[in-house]
Structure 1
Amino acid sequence: MKKKIIHLVLLSCVKATELIEKKSLFGLSWIERLQLRLHTNVCDGCTIYQQQSILLDKVLQTQSINFDELSLLPQVKNESLKQSILLSLDKASD
């Protein structure tokens, strides 16, 4: 019984990072929030990962792609190279 309780409370870093990502996408149950809080209280690496994840989510939410700005990207001058790149992109999107 004691091992079961300890297993519920203590998380590995892998499980903690899964919960960090789940938190930003779906939210966590109260037990998952407790587990994550206990883990990040003792693990500096996961605490930093959580802070970076929050920051990255905020940055990505504020950014939007403006297709007019794509014309400002460097252009490929070599026509055969350009066709090869476009063909590769088409194959990758299939």
Structure 2
Amino acid sequence: MKVDHFNRMSLSFTLPMQKLVKHKQERRCPLSYLIKEYSRSADFTSKSDKIKHAYIRFLTEIEDIFGDLTLKYIQSPRARGKFK
């Protein structure tokens, strides 16, 4: 069940995050910056408290592990295998 919840969370996180990553300059930002921007967005703040709590738990874990990596690095084909 946890995997299904994570997959749904992943999809609803990915789509708004794609909106934030519009310019090449943003691709040089660390993932932690994008997570903070997403957590301030209407896409996040409009969610129920229960959903926000679950997202924060996952986002904190993601930020702790991958927060200093740039989006450019994360999206590179060489790095993709590290995230599976």
Report the TM-score, using the length of structure 1 for normalisation: 0.29
Larger-Rg structure: 1
Report the TM-score, using the length of structure 2 for normalisation: 0.31
